[in-house]
Amino acid sequence: MAILSLVSIGPGDLDYMLPAAMGALRRADVIIGYQIYLDQLRHLIAPHQELVSSQLGQEVERATHAIDMAAAGRNVAMVSSGDIGIYAMASPIFDVLRARDWNGNEPDVEVFPGVSAIQATAAKVGAPLGHDFCTISLSDLLTPWPVIQKRLKAAAWGDFVIGFYNPRSKKRDWQLGYAIDILRDFRPPETPVIIARNVTRPDENIQVVALSEFDPSVVDMFTLVMVGNSQSYTLADRVATPRGYTEKGADRTTAQKEASEAVISYPVSLTKLAGKPATVIGGGPVATRKVDGLLAVEAVVTVVSPELTPQLQALVDAGNVTWVARKYEADDLAAAMLVFAATNDRAVNQQIGEAAAALNILCSVADAPEEGNFHSMAVHRGDSTVLAVGTQGTEPGKAKRLRNQLRWLLENDN
C-alpha cells in the first residue's frame, strides 16, 4: 500500500532533521512542498525521485495533489519546515481527508515529527520553556483577528511563556506591537524577550532584550519572537524559566517572622475629595503619578519641588496644579488634608512622614511605606465597580499587573 508521509525537515539546518523523517524522505517516489524547502533538500534527493513544487498560499491545492498521488499508488513525501504538525501542512492534509470521509487508509498517512522553530530557539538561548508555554500566530489570513486578540489576552493573563509565529510582515505591521502592549500590562519590564531570526540557518541572528525595550520594527516574517513569563530571567547571555513558582529551601521561620511583623492595613476608599487640598512633595515621575491620581478625583493639588517633570509642568501651565518652586519646608503641610512624600531625598521623606504624623494628616511615603499611614493602590474604575489592588506600597509594579489581570476578567465577564 502506498504511503503519504508528512515529513518535518526542522528549523533550517538539516542536522536538526530527525532520522525517522530522513528515512521517510528517502523512501518516497514523489516529494512535494514549497519550493524553498525543496531547494534546501536538493542534495538529499535521488535521481529517480520526482519533485513537485508549489507556491506559498496554495496549501489546499498542494494537499489535494499529494493525497491524489498517494491514492494512485505512489509513495509521497509532503515536506514542511519545523514540525509539519505546527502551523504547517499536516493540518490541510487532514482537512482534505475529512472532506473525503477518509477511512484511515487509501492512502495510508504517517506523520514524522520534527524540531520546531520554538524548540530550536529555546535550545539556543537556554531554557525559556521550563514552565507552561504556548504559541500564537499573529497572521489573520486564516484566523479572524478577534480570535487572535482573545487568545493574546488569555495567554497574557495566564502568564504563559509565548512564542509568536508570523509576527510581522509589510502588510501586517501593527499586530505584534498590540500584543506586546498587552504583555507590558501583565509582566515586569525586565521580562526577557527573545528575537530569533532564521534560527539554525547560516544568517542566524538571536537577540535578547527586556520587554520594556523591545522594538517590534526589528521583526519580520523570518523571525520568531518569544516572551518569557513573569518568572523568566536572564543569566549571562541565556534565558531560563523556573519549573516552579516557589523558591525551594526557603527559610520558613524567617518568612513567618517577617509576616508577623508586617503592617496590617485596613483598606478604605476615600470619597468626596473634590475640592479638598492635597500636597505632593516632589516633582519626579512618582510625584507625577500621584498628581494624576489626585486630579482624577478632582482634588485641589499643590506641588512643592524645585523642578518638575514635563508632564507636571504642563499641568501647572494649564492651571490645574499650584506649584511652589522650592524645596520642602515644614509649613507646606499646614493646609493639606493628605500629603504624598515623593522626593528623591530619603531624609526629607522621613521628615515629611514624621511631621504629618504629628499633625494627624494622612501621609504616604513613597520610598518607605511603613513611615506613612496610608498608601495608594492600583485602581481601575468601571461603570459600576472600583477595583483597587495594593501590596502595602512595597511592590507597585506587581499591584499594577494584578490590577490589569483582574480588570481583564471584569471586562470579559459575560
223-227 and 161-165 as β-strands: parallel, antiparallel, unpaired? antiparallel
Please give the average per-residue pLDDT across 283-288, as a whole number.
94
Total number of residues shown for the chain: 414
Residues 6+ apart with CB under 8 A from 58: none
Comparing 267 with 317, which gets the higher pLDDT? 317
116-146 pLDDT, tens digit each: 999 999 999 999 999 999 999 999 988 999 9
345-358 pLDDT, tens digit each: 999 999 999 999 99
Grid cell in block for residue 21: 523523517
Please give the average per-residue pLDDT across 86-106, as a whole number.
94
Residue 39 lies in a domain: yes
Please give the average per-residue pLDDT across 43-52, as a whole number.
94
Please give the average per-residue pLDDT across 254-283, as a whole number.
73
How far is the CA of 130 from the CAs of 11, 241, 243, 245, in angstroms?
20, 5, 5, 11
Determine the Cα–Cα distance for residues 8 and 177; give it in Å rounded to an integer.
31
> Residues 178, 216: one domain?
yes
Among 75, 98, 115, give the residue marking a domain's end: 115
pLDDT of the residue at 263: 57
> Residues 103, 127: one domain?
no
pLDDT of the residue at 403: 82
Residue 247 lies in a domain: no
For residue 359, pLDDT over 50 is answered with yes
Structural domain span for residue 129: 118-240
Comparing 371 with 402, which gets the higher pLDDT? 371
Residue 313 lies in a domain: yes
CATH of the domain at 129: 3.30.950.10
Helix intervals (H) in 267-395: 285-296, 310-317, 346-358
Comparing 142 with 251, which gets the higher pLDDT? 142
> Residues 45, 132: one domain?
no
CA atoms within 13 A on the CB side of 311: 10
> Residues 144, 132: one domain?
yes
Among 189, 216, 240, give the residue marking a domain's end: 240
Question: Is residue 342 very low, low, confident or very high in pLDDT (cuts 50, 70, 90)?
Answer: very high
pLDDT of the residue at 77: 98
> Residues 58, 161: one domain?
no
Among 115, 139, 159, give the residue marking a domain's end: 115
Strand pairing partners for 379?
388
Grid cell in block for residue 111: 506523520
For residue 314, pLDDT over 90 is answered with yes
Determine the Cα–Cα distance for residues 375 and 363; give it in Å rounded to an integer.
8
> Residues 311, 363: one domain?
yes
Determine the Cα–Cα distance for residues 272 and 247; give it in Å rounded to an integer.
44
> Residues 137, 26: one domain?
no
Q: Residue 95, Cα to own-chain centre: how many angstroms? A: 32
Percent of the chain at pLDDT above 70?
94
> Residues 98, 164: one domain?
no
Please give the average per-residue pLDDT across 74-98, as a whole number.
96
CATH of the domain at 13: 3.40.1010.10
Residue 363 CB-density burial (10 A; 0-12 exposed, 13-18 middle, 19+ buried): buried
Comparing 306 with 382, which gets the higher pLDDT? 306
For residue 38, pLDDT over 50 is answered with yes
> Residues 289, 365: one domain?
yes
B/e letters for 233-247, b = 16+ CB within 10 Å, e = fewer, are: ebeeeebbbeeeeee
Q: Classify 9 as helix, strand or coil.
A: coil
Residue 193 lies in a domain: yes
Domain count, the chain: 4
> Residues 286, 231: one domain?
no
Instruction: Share the mean pLDDT of the chain.
Output: 90
Whether 196 contacts 223, CB under 8 Å: yes
Residue 258 lies in a domain: no
For residue 168, pLDDT over 90 is answered with yes
Residues 6+ apart with CB under 8 A from 134: 155, 160, 161, 162, 163
Grid cell in block for residue 377: 493602590
pLDDT of the residue at 66: 96
Residue 7 lies in a domain: yes
Residue 265 lies in a domain: no
pLDDT of the residue at 259: 44
> Residues 138, 87: one domain?
no
> Residues 217, 295: one domain?
no
For residue 414, pLDDT over 60 is answered with no
For residue 110, pLDDT over 90 is answered with yes
CATH of the domain at 319: 3.40.50.720
For residue 171, pLDDT over 90 is answered with no
Residue 271 lies in a domain: no
